[in-house]
A = this chain, B = another copy of it.
Amino acid sequence: MQEELSEFYNIFTETKKDIESFMAMLDPVINNAKDDHERLYYHHIYEEEEQRLSRLAELIPLLETFLAGQGGSFSPSNNIFNRLLQELNLEKFGLHNFVEHLDLALFQFKDAERQAKLTEMRGTNHTSYQFVKEKLARINEQFDTGYADPHAHHDEHGDHLNHHAHSTPVQPVQPKTKRSFTVGSLISK
């Protein structure tokens, strides 16, 4: 577990730098938007990454606490560990959404400089997303958290850019099981 946490730490400190680069790239685009629609579009993505940045400002110190051996046991009876798992599950989606923000930007920023930077960040963060997804699946299984991935049905179709045809009408998704820590499990602690 200590090894995974160390890798998570590297991943989230790296993606934090990439968010900052991406926000700096979006800033002039927002300022120079040709109309309200374009401005809202980029500003919206900017704000979502800003929200993620402020969540990472909590997750990273929490990872540091565990890496320093001060987080307590890796056990569902430890509320700080529960908090860590909950935040990691959330930031897995943060990475996923970031990759898609980068993909959307790749469709629009066609100059060589931004294409190169976006492609590089896209590669790194996609790898990070896959890593976090796989490790968390194992950790959630190990601790029997009952976590159900609301994206699993998308991932079955492979990479989202190539195969996300909805061949049949999609029903709004209801999680099959409770996500992670139920109220009951918290009450019993």
Contact = CB atoms under 8 A, between A and B. Distances in A.
Interface of A: 19-20, 23-24, 27-28, 30-31, 36-37, 39-41, 43-44, 47-48, 50-51, 53-55, 57-58, 61-62, 65, 70-72, 79-80, 83, 90, 93, 96-97, 100-101, 103-104, 107, 148, 150-151, 154, 160-161, 164-166, 169-170, 172-175, 178-179, 181, 183, 186-187, 189
Given A20-B172, A97-B48, A164 B39 contact: yes
15 contacts: A23-B170, A27-B166, A27-B169, A37-B104, A40-B161, A44-B101, A47-B97, A48-B97, A51-B93, A54-B150, A54-B173, A71-B183, A79-B186, A79-B189, A80-B187
Contact of A47 (B50, B71, B151): B151
Nearest to A83: B186
B187 A107 contact: no
A31 B166 contact: yes
A58 B179 contact: yes
* Majority DSSP secondary structure for residues of A touching B: helix
B80 A183 contact: yes
Interface centre among A28, A43, A189 (most CB of B within 10 A): A43
Given A23-B172, A166-B27, A100 B178 contact: no
Contacts of A107: 36-37, 40
Nearest to A21: B172
